[in-house]
Amino acid sequence: MLKQAKIAVMVSGGGTNLQALIDAEANGIIRSGKISLVLSNKSTAYALERAARAGIKTEVVEKRMCSGNAEFEDRIMEVLDREGIDLIVLAGFMCILSERFTAKYAERIINVHPSLIPSFCGEGFYGLHVHEAALAYGVKVSGATVHFVNEIPDGGKIIMQKAVEVKEGDTPETLQRRIMEEAEWKILPLATEAVCQSIVRGESV
């Protein structure tokens, strides 16, 4: 039986969610898994520095260096398989994965999304755009969702959600920050531990 699931975190940017995962492992919130790899599709992602500082192996696979999406995904899969990864955590990874990819790792990929799915999600809803759309609609509550990743963008089974109040005068930036602090950085580590536990025990979530 597995003692700890090997986790790969896939990133594209600043990596504050990655940092929350690193901190959660350090303080024992994540104990059924170990972050073994951080993979970025951008060589300039600050998340890579966070990983290096924590002594975690990093890999960069850039789409512009590949002949197309199929090769891009093949290269990522090669790395994940070489490292024997059990769980892939998308933490601000800004590419949509094809069905070929998601089917290979069914129930082994999770993603954090900065809204309460099914609101403000799917293709085109990423990063600040999500909060712009929420403010434009005028919702009074938003939040974050951690879900399994399947072939439908943001359409996989929901694992955890947390609501966050939208305040008068919020900008996309202030709302993004509050949702990160109050929701994403909390539920992503908790959901990661829950999925790792189920992998280690051989159960489904």
Asked if 15 interacts with ligand GAR (CB under 6 A), we say yes
**Omega of the bond prior to 118 within 30 degrees of 0, cis?**
yes
Asked if 164 interacts with ligand GAR (CB under 6 A), we say no
Q: Which two tokens stand for residue 175?
A: 């709302």
Asked if 91 interacts with ligand GAR (CB under 6 A), we say yes
Q: Cα angle vertex 20, ends 175, 203, to 5°?
A: 110
> What is the Cα–Cα distance from 23 to 16, expressed in whole angstroms?
10
First-to-last alpha carbon distance for the chain, in angstroms, is 17
Cβ within 8 Å of residue 65, ≥6 positions away? none
CB of 188 to ligand GAR, least distance (A): 8
Closest-by-Cβ residue to ligand GAR is: 92
Asked if 184 interacts with ligand GAR (CB under 6 A), we say yes
Among 29, 34, 127, 151, binds ligand GAR (CB under 6 A): 127
Asked if 155 interacts with ligand GAR (CB under 6 A), we say no
- Please check whether residue 167 is in contact with residue 134, taking contact to mean a CB–CB distance below 8 angstroms: no
Whether 113 is catalytic is yes
Number of residues in the chain: 205
CB closer to ligand GAR, 157 vs 201: 157
Asked if 14 interacts with ligand GAR (CB under 6 A), we say yes
Q: Helices 46-53 and 16-26 sit at what angle, rounded to 10 degrees?
A: 10
Asked if 92 interacts with ligand GAR (CB under 6 A), we say yes
- Please check whether residue 20 is in contact with residue 193, taking contact to mean a CB–CB distance below 8 angstroms: no
> Where does this chain touch ligand GAR (CB under 6 A) — which range of 56-64, 67-75, 108-116, 166-174?
108-116
In this structure, the number of other CB atoms found within 10 A of the CB of residue 202 comes to 8
CB closer to ligand GAR, 33 vs 92: 92
Q: Which of residues 51-90 bind ligand GAR (CB under 6 A)?
A: none
CB closer to ligand GAR, 17 vs 32: 17
Residue 121 φ then ψ, to 5°: -140, 175
Among 76, 116, 175, 180, binds ligand GAR (CB under 6 A): 180
- Please check whether residue 185 is in contact with residue 16, taking contact to mean a CB–CB distance below 8 angstroms: yes
CB closer to ligand GAR, 13 vs 33: 13
Q: Which residues form the interface with ligand GAR (CB under 6 A)? A: 13-17, 47, 91-92, 112-114, 126-127, 130, 180, 184
Q: Hey, which residues are catalytic here?
A: 113
